[in-house]
Copies of this chain bind each other. A is one copy, B any other.
Amino acid sequence: MATLGDIGVAAAINLLSAFIFLLAFAILRLQPFNDRVYFPKWYLKGLRTSPSSSGAFVRKFVNLDFRSYLRFLNWMPEALKMPEPELIDHAGLDSAVYLRIYLLGLKIFVPIALVAWSILVPVNFTNKALELQLKNVTSSDIDKLSISNVPYASDRFWTHIVMAYAFTFWTCYVLMKEYETIASMRLQFLASEKRRPDQFTVLVRNVPPDPDESVSESVEHFFLVNHPDTYLTHQVVCNANKLAKLVKKRKSKQNWLDYYQLKYSRNNANRPMMKTGFLGCWGEKVDAIEYHISEIEKLSKEIDEERERVVKDPKSIMPAAFVSFKSRWGAAVCAQTQQSRNPTLWLTEWAPEPRDVYWQNLAIPYVSLAVRRLIMAVAFFFLTFFFMIPIASVQALASIEGLEKVAPFLKPLIEMKFIKAVIQGFLPGIVLKLFLIFLPTILMIMAKFEGFTSLSSLERTAATRYYLFNLVNVFLVSVVAGSALDQLNTFIKESANDIPRIIGVAIPLRATFFITYIMVDGWAGIAAEILMLKPLIIFHLKNFFLVKTEKDREEAMDPGSLGFNTGEPRLQLYFLLGLIYAAVTPVLLPFILIFFGLAYVVFRHQIINVYNQEYESAAAFWPDVHGRVIAALVISQIALIGLMSTKGLAVSSPFLIALVVLTLWFWRFCKARYEPAFVRYPLQEAMMKDTLERARDPTLNLKPYLQNAYVHPIFKGDDDEDEEFHYKLENETVLVPTKRQSRRNTPVPSKISGGSSPSLPEAVPEHSVP
């Protein structure tokens, strides 16, 4: 095990590399030609323009003002300066709340670290258990500060148990406060002044097919009957996936056309030629510009036809719709209630933000959803525990013998010494690394297959799975040696009694490993994040080869986004390590603190200046974050039970089991107490907001505002065709004469539903004129 000195050296190296990253960032960000890489958010908001518009030529690319280099760490206080409300306004609630996760880490671990260092470290250090052990086992200084230094069956262990209680209560207290704050932030955000279409809109899925009526008519009739006072309008969902594909294809061709035209304008001598075959490698040679112009024309025609088809063909209308109401109250009622006798039909839920909708999944029927969920659960189980099997076989293939067997003609090449070394040394590792890099993408595809309807829920599901995968394949595998499959085998074969013991014993031994891990992944990794090497290189490549207009330059920027599905699960590992080692090896805590502090500043800077959130889910992810911190608490308590039972203090188990029960109870309590704020929308709030709005603007007509809020993004172009299409869509939804026989026989519309007869609903609420 490492001594304090070793750790110090490692810390110095990692601090140095982190420092180098920060320094490189500080220098690069001051160069004007990098401005769009490090401040894209401001460009997207239209608050910043290219600094290259004036001044000397050199100044356009390099910052020559040496004074600015002296203040190279200036970005840190700048990042911290923006107050939270402004941050919410600037970057959205999701980002602001995401930052609070790091703050939560600081709030939890600063007091824990102080208490642990002032109580546990002296208690551990003043023992001599390790000195008394055999001298040939070199025990490090770090171990002297840890629980390993306390002798077998010592009464001092009760300090650790009391501390475990104290840490649990403190963590739970902070978690509860935080949940409360964020729930009220969310409600405030949802009920904020700004009117948003999703406040009035409900997503209806699984509209039952009706032989007499189209989906649109069916939806309109259903809601006119069942929500007579509040129903306003609706938009059916079209299956425009093919259309979207065609439009994307046309855009790509257009890009190429632009490229060739640029090329031609630079060099008027020879017209650019190209081959029509695969990747332009073979096939007929044609004039590139002409070819692309004709291709684009062809595609435009196809797109028009497809658009026509989408509008006219009833088969392209999916059995789902966005239904808008006259008031927030009406939408809240509809989203929270069951509509039909069959609970799998007319499923209603809050509509996600228009940007947040994942259009492809809106039409999956209920039974298929249930089956997909089962398949994905099983697939994820196999992915977690058996992913090493295909990787091992690919690794075998990637070995010298494997390659020679598959491709004997490569033999002379492979036998070369240098290439042999590369294959033997790197290939197997690269296969695993590639898998881990693609894992979030794989998990995202799995979530998409499962049928979630909003980007935010896709990311949340992928994040949960990534967390579980990390827990098993990073944490458990690091603690107890052996692959995940070995673990599974062990845990099935060992008794419920022994599992905590296996983990508990290994925990103190792995402290130095995890300290190193934190320094590499948490310190240097976070510092590398701010440098944004990949977007930097790509931007300059694009800038050099493709960009010709200001718009192109805008498109060349890749601000990226927070990436909740990868960032949050990785971050949770630090909570887990901190809570587990708080009572065992408090030495680890300062390293965690530095991580949380550094990451907070870095991500605050990134959120303010770089990331461009694609959607806004109003912090819908917080229950997951909360749940995982509690899971980390429970894991830490179970590990402590196991550790204590090997330290001769099995008598303490009931106390720690009681702590586990209390923690789980706290989780359930919080779930019931705060989670509704993230799932439902209280009627009181909705009514208050409605009343306020009506008082301010009594003549408000919501219908035009909501009519086209939820149109497939492909129809949201700005050319004339789209306008025309909109008009058609509108007309289509407006004319809903009843065709069905049976409906004609239903009793007169109810008296409560009053004026709103089954024809066109009035846009103005019927009682709005006093």
Q: Is the CB of A370 within 8 A of B752?
A: no
Q: Is the CB of A692 within 8 A of B337?
A: no
Q: Which listed segment binds B: A413-421, A526-534, A541-549, A668-676?
A: A668-676
Q: Is the CB of A337 within 8 A of B332?
A: yes
Whole-angstrom distance between the alpha carbons of A747 and B343 in the complex?
39
A677 within 8 A of B: yes
- The residues in A between 732 and 770 inclusive whose CB is less than 8 angstroms from any CB of B are 746-748, 750-752, 754, 765, 767-770
A374 within 8 A of B: yes
Whole-angstrom distance between the alpha carbons of A222 and B684 in the complex?
9
- The residues in A between 476 and 513 inclusive whose CB is less than 8 angstroms from any CB of B are 491-498
A312 within 8 A of B: no
Q: Smallest distance from the beta carbon of A451 to chain B beta carbons, Å?
A: 14
Q: Is the CB of B226 within 8 A of A683?
A: yes
Q: Is the CB of B665 within 8 A of A374?
A: yes
> Who on chain B is nearest to A664 by CB?
B374
Whole-angstrom distance between the alpha carbons of A676 and B347 in the complex?
12
> With A187-B341, A492-B497, A767-B752 known to touch, is A747 a contact of B691 (CB < 8 Å)?
yes
Q: Smallest distance from the beta carbon of A191 to chain B beta carbons, Å?
A: 9
Whole-angstrom distance between the alpha carbons of A680 and B339 in the complex?
10
A681 within 8 A of B: yes
A327 within 8 A of B: yes
Q: Which of B340, B495, B690, B770 contacts A494 (CB 8 A)?
A: B495
A685 within 8 A of B: yes
A114 within 8 A of B: no
Q: Is the CB of A684 within 8 A of B226?
A: yes
A694 within 8 A of B: yes
A225 within 8 A of B: yes
Copies in the complex: 2
> Who on chain B is nearest to A374 by CB?
B665
Q: Smallest distance from the beta carbon of A420 to chain B beta carbons, Å?
A: 41
> Who on chain B is nearest to A681 by CB?
B338
Please give, as numbers and ranges, the residues of chain B lying within 8 Å of A691 by CB-CB distance: 746-747, 750
Q: Is the CB of A687 within 8 A of B751?
A: no
Q: Which of B184, B378, B662, B680 contacts A337 (CB 8 A)?
A: B680
Q: Smallest distance from the beta carbon of A214 to chain B beta carbons, Å?
A: 20
Please give, as numbers and ranges, the residues of chain B lying within 8 Å of A408 by CB-CB distance: none
Q: What 0/1 readout, one digit per residue, does chain A (217-248) give for beta carbons within 8 Å of chain B?
A: 00000100111010000000000000000000
Q: Smallest distance from the beta carbon of A744 to chain B beta carbons, Å?
A: 15
A425 within 8 A of B: no
Q: Smallest distance from the beta carbon of A745 to chain B beta carbons, Å?
A: 12
Please give, as numbers and ranges, the residues of chain B lying within 8 Å of A340 by CB-CB distance: 682, 684
Q: Is the CB of B337 within 8 A of A333?
A: yes
Q: Is the CB of B661 within 8 A of A378?
A: yes
Whole-angstrom distance between the alpha carbons of A694 and B750 in the complex?
7
Please give, as numbers and ranges, the residues of chain B lying within 8 Å of A677 by CB-CB distance: 341, 343
Q: Which of B492, B692, B746, B751 contacts A496 (CB 8 A)?
A: B492
A132 within 8 A of B: no
Please give, as numbers and ranges, the residues of chain B lying within 8 Å of A327 by CB-CB distance: 752
Please give, as numbers and ranges, the residues of chain B lying within 8 Å of A491 by CB-CB distance: 496
Please give, as numbers and ranges, the residues of chain B lying within 8 Å of A661 by CB-CB distance: 374, 378
A406 within 8 A of B: no
Q: Is the CB of B750 within 8 A of A682?
A: no
Whole-angstrom distance between the alpha carbons of A329 and B184 in the complex?
30
Q: Is the CB of A338 within 8 A of B676?
A: yes
A470 within 8 A of B: no
Please give, as numbers and ranges, the residues of chain B lying within 8 Å of A669 by CB-CB distance: 370
Q: Is the CB of B687 within 8 A of A343?
A: no
A344 within 8 A of B: yes
Please give, as numbers and ranges, the residues of chain B lying within 8 Å of A366 by CB-CB distance: 673
- The residues in A between 682 and 706 inclusive whose CB is less than 8 angstroms from any CB of B are 682-685, 687, 690-692, 694-695, 698
> Who on chain B is nearest to A673 by CB?
B344
Please give, as numbers and ranges, the residues of chain B lying within 8 Å of A676 by CB-CB distance: 338, 343
- The residues in A between 618 and 656 inclusive whose CB is less than 8 angstroms from any CB of B are none
Whole-angstrom distance between the alpha carbons of A563 and B440 in the complex?
54
Whole-angstrom distance between the alpha carbons of A681 and B339 in the complex?
8
Please give, as numbers and ranges, the residues of chain B lying within 8 Å of A754 by CB-CB distance: 767
A473 within 8 A of B: no
A336 within 8 A of B: yes
Q: Smallest distance from the beta carbon of A491 to chain B beta carbons, Å?
A: 7
Q: Which of B336, B662, B690, B768 contacts A338 (CB 8 A)?
A: B336
List 27 A-B pairs, Cβ < 8 Å: A225-B687, A226-B687, A227-B683, A332-B337, A333-B337, A337-B337, A337-B683, A339-B682, A340-B684, A341-B677, A341-B685, A343-B673, A343-B677, A344-B673, A346-B684, A370-B672, A374-B661, A374-B662, A378-B661, A493-B495, A493-B496, A690-B750, A690-B752, A695-B747, A751-B768, A751-B770, A752-B768
A-B interface, 6 closest residue pairs, ranked by CB to CB distance from nearest: A343-B676, A695-B747, A338-B680, A336-B337, A751-B767, A374-B665
